[in-house]
Structure 1
Amino acid sequence: MKRLAIITTFLVLASPALAQDGLPPDGTTSVLRGAPYSPNANRGFPTKVLFGDTHVHSALSADAGGGGTTLMPRDMYRFARGEQVNSNTGQPVKLSRPFDFYMLTEHTDGMGVITDIIKGAPNIMADPQGKKFHQEFAKGGDAAKQASFDLIKQFSQGTLSEALLYQPGSPGYDNTWADLVAAAEQFNEPHVFTAMIAYEWTSLVAGNNLHRNVIFRDGPERALQVVPFLMSPPAGSPDPRDLWNWMQNYEDDTGGDVLAIPHNPNLSNGIMFTQNDTFRDGEAFDPEYLKTRAQWERLVEIGQTKGDSESHPLLSPTDEFADYENWDWANLDVTEAKTPEMIANEYVRNVLKNGLTFAQNGQTNPFKLGFVGGSDIHTGLTTQDDNNFFGAFTWMEPSATRATTLAKENKELGIEYKGWQYATPGPTAVWATENTRAGIFDAMERREVYSTTGPRITVRFFGGFDFASDDINSRELAKIGYAKGVPMGGDMIHGDGAPSFLVYAMRDPIGANLDRVQIIKGWVDTDGTTQEKVYDVIWSGDRQPGEDGKLPPVGNTVDLSVPSWTNDIGRAELGAVWTDPDFDASQHAFYYTRVIEIPTPRWTAYDAVRFGVEMPSEVTLITQERAYSSPIWYTP
Structure 2
Amino acid sequence: MKQAVLSLLATTILSGAAFANASLGYAVDENEVTIGKDVQYSPYLHQSYPDRVFWGDTHLHTSYSTDAGMIGNRLGPDEALRFAKGQAVISSTGIRGRLIRPLDFLVIADHAENLGLSPMIEESNPELLKDPAGKEFHDLVKSGQGWEAYQIWKKAGGELRDPMPNPELQAMAWNQIIDYVDQHNQPGVFTAFHGFEWTSTPDLRNMHRVVIFRDDAEAARKVVPMTIFDSIDPEKLWDYMEMYEQTTGGKALAIPHGGNLSQGLMFAVETFEGEPLTAEYAERRMRWEPIYEATQMKGDGEAHPALSTDDEFADYYTWDKGDFGLNPKLPEMLPHEYARSALKLGLEQHAKLGANPFKFGMIGATDSHTSLAGTREENYFGKFSGTEPGSEARFHDLVSQDLREGGDGSLDVYHWETLASGLAGVWAKENTRAALWDAMKRKEVYATTGTRMLVRVFAGWDFEADEVHRPDFARQGYARGVPMGGDLSSAPEGSAPRFMVRALRDPDGANLDRVQIVKGWLDADGASKERIYDIAVSDGREIGPDGRATEPVGDTVDIENASYTNTVGNAVLGAYWEDPDFDPSQMAFYYVRVLEIPTPTWIAYDEKVFGKGDAPEEALRKHQERAYTSPIWFTPG
Q: TM-score, normalised by structure 1?
A: 0.88
What's 2:526 paired with? 528
1:447 to 443, 446, 462: 443
2:76 to 72, 76, 81: 72
What's 2:175 paired with? 178
SS in 2 for 1:215: strand
Structure 1 residue 134: Cα displacement: 5.4
Identify the range of structure 1 (507-516 vs 42-51) with the bigger mean alpha-carbon deviation: 42-51
**Pairing 1:567-578 to 2, within 5 Å after superposition:** 567-578=566-577
SS in 2 for 1:261: strand
Deviations 1:173-195 (A, max 9, x none): 01111111111111000000111
Classify 1:576/1:397 alpha carbon distance in 2 versus 1 (closer, same or farther; 3 Å). Answer: same
> Separation in 2 of the partners of 1:206 and 1:409?
14
> Separation in 2 of the partners of 1:126 and 1:427?
39
What's 1:111 paired with? 115
- Do the aligned partners of 2:137 and 2:149 also contact (CA within 8 Å) in 1? no
> Separation in 1 of the partners of 2:397 and 2:430?
44
SS in 1 for 2:174: helix
SS in 1 for 2:520: strand
What's 1:366 paired with? 357
Aligned letter for 1:608? E
**Pairing 1:485-524 to 2, within 5 Å after superposition:** 485-496=481-492, 497-524=495-522
Aligned letter for 1:210? M
**Pairing 1:358-397 to 2, within 5 Å after superposition:** 358-397=349-388
Deviations 1:437-479 (A, max 9, x none): 0010011011000010011010101111111001112122111
What's 1:626 paired with? 626
- Do the aligned partners of 2:189 and 2:431 also contact (CA within 8 Å) in 1? yes
> Separation in 1 of the partners of 2:54 and 2:364?
13
SS in 2 for 1:285: coil
> Separation in 2 of the partners of 1:602 and 1:130?
43
> Separation in 2 of the partners of 1:612 and 1:97?
27
Structure 1 residue 401: Cα displacement: 3.8
Classify 1:400/1:196 alpha carbon distance in 2 versus 1 (closer, same or farther; 3 Å). Answer: closer
**How big is the alpha-carbon RMSD for the aligned residues of Structure 1 and Structure 2?**
2.2
> Separation in 2 of the partners of 1:176 and 1:362?
42
**Residues 1:237 and 2:197 aligned together:** no
2:158 to 138, 156, 168: 156
SS in 1 for 2:106: strand
> Separation in 2 of the partners of 1:502 and 1:616?
43
Deviations 1:285-325 (A, max 9, x none): 23322221121111000011111100100110110110011
What's 1:214 paired with? 211
Aligned letter for 1:289? Y
**Residues 1:262 and 2:256 aligned together:** yes
**Pairing 1:94-105 to 2, within 5 Å after superposition:** 94-105=98-109
What's 1:19 paired with? none
> Separation in 2 of the partners of 1:488 and 1:178?
36
Identify the range of structure 1 (406-415 vs 80-89) with the bigger mean alpha-carbon deviation: 406-415
What's 2:191 paired with? 194
Deviations 1:503-547 (A, max 9, x none): 110000010000000000011111111100011010101222469
Classify 1:303/1:613 alpha carbon distance in 2 versus 1 (closer, same or farther; 3 Å). Answer: same
SS in 1 for 2:188: coil
> Separation in 1 of the partners of 2:515 and 2:152?
43
Aligned letter for 1:626? R
- Do the aligned partners of 1:153 and 1:207 also contact (CA within 8 Å) in 2? no
- Do the aligned partners of 2:517 and 2:591 also contact (CA within 8 Å) in 1? yes
What's 2:424 paired with? 428
Instruction: Give 5+ residue unaligned stretches, structure 1.
Output: 1-34
- Aligned residues with identical type, % of pairs: 44
Aligned letter for 2:136? K
1:43 to 42, 47, 51: 47
> Separation in 2 of the partners of 1:117 and 1:93?
26
Larger Rg: 2
> Separation in 1 of the partners of 2:438 and 2:251?
10
- Do the aligned partners of 2:133 and 2:163 also contact (CA within 8 Å) in 1? no
What's 1:135 paired with? 140
> Separation in 2 of the partners of 1:151 and 1:413?
26
Identify the range of structure 1 (566-575 vs 540-549) with the bigger mean alpha-carbon deviation: 540-549
- Do the aligned partners of 2:348 and 2:522 also contact (CA within 8 Å) in 1? yes
SS in 1 for 2:49: coil
Classify 1:71/1:101 alpha carbon distance in 2 versus 1 (closer, same or farther; 3 Å). Answer: same
**Residues 1:314 and 2:306 aligned together:** yes
- Do the aligned partners of 1:303 and 1:310 also contact (CA within 8 Å) in 2? yes
- Do the aligned partners of 1:157 and 1:206 also contact (CA within 8 Å) in 2? no
Classify 1:262/1:86 alpha carbon distance in 2 versus 1 (closer, same or farther; 3 Å). Answer: same
> Separation in 2 of the partners of 1:483 and 1:287?
32
- Do the aligned partners of 2:257 and 2:292 also contact (CA within 8 Å) in 1? yes
What's 2:31 paired with? none
> Separation in 1 of the partners of 2:142 and 2:597?
43
What's 1:300 paired with? 292
Aligned letter for 1:99? L
> Separation in 1 of the partners of 2:189 and 2:141?
42
1:285 to 266, 277, 292: 277
Structure 1 residue 39: Cα displacement: 5.1
> Separation in 2 of the partners of 1:266 and 1:242?
22
Aligned letter for 1:391? G
Identify the range of structure 1 (404-413 vs 115-124) with the bigger mean alpha-carbon deviation: 115-124
**Residues 1:412 and 2:404 aligned together:** no
What's 2:552 paired with? 553
Q: TM-score, normalised by structure 2?
A: 0.88
Aligned letter for 1:239? D
- Do the aligned partners of 2:208 and 2:256 also contact (CA within 8 Å) in 1? yes
Classify 1:148/1:504 alpha carbon distance in 2 versus 1 (closer, same or farther; 3 Å). Answer: farther
Classify 1:39/1:626 alpha carbon distance in 2 versus 1 (closer, same or farther; 3 Å). Answer: farther
SS in 2 for 1:163: coil
> Separation in 2 of the partners of 1:395 and 1:64?
10
**Residues 1:330 and 2:335 aligned together:** no
Classify 1:361/1:126 alpha carbon distance in 2 versus 1 (closer, same or farther; 3 Å). Answer: closer
- Do the aligned partners of 1:108 and 1:229 also contact (CA within 8 Å) in 2? yes
**Residues 1:55 and 2:59 aligned together:** yes
Aligned letter for 1:135? L
> Separation in 1 of the partners of 2:444 and 2:268?
25
Aligned letter for 1:255? G
SS in 2 for 1:576: strand
> Separation in 1 of the partners of 2:142 and 2:299?
27
Structure 1 residue 148: Cα displacement: 4.4
**Residues 1:84 and 2:88 aligned together:** yes
What's 1:464 paired with? 460
- Do the aligned partners of 2:346 and 2:357 also contact (CA within 8 Å) in 1? yes
Deviations 1:89-131 (A, max 9, x none): 0111111100101100111112133334566778679857973
- Do the aligned partners of 2:364 and 2:424 also contact (CA within 8 Å) in 1? yes
Instruction: Give 5+ residue unaligned stretches, structure 2.
Output: 1-38
> Separation in 2 of the partners of 1:344 and 1:125?
48
Aligned letter for 2:306? L
- Do the aligned partners of 2:537 and 2:549 also contact (CA within 8 Å) in 1? no
> Separation in 2 of the partners of 1:544 and 1:36?
46
Classify 1:118/1:185 alpha carbon distance in 2 versus 1 (closer, same or farther; 3 Å). Answer: closer
- Do the aligned partners of 1:515 and 1:539 also contact (CA within 8 Å) in 2? yes
Structure 1 residue 230: Cα displacement: 1.5
Classify 1:138/1:42 alpha carbon distance in 2 versus 1 (closer, same or farther; 3 Å). Answer: farther
What's 2:269 paired with? 275
Structure 1 residue 619: Cα displacement: 1.1
SS in 2 for 1:361: helix
- Do the aligned partners of 2:514 and 2:594 also contact (CA within 8 Å) in 1? yes
Q: How many residues align?
A: 589
Classify 1:147/1:520 alpha carbon distance in 2 versus 1 (closer, same or farther; 3 Å). Answer: farther
> Separation in 2 of the partners of 1:149 and 1:536?
49
Aligned letter for 1:299? I
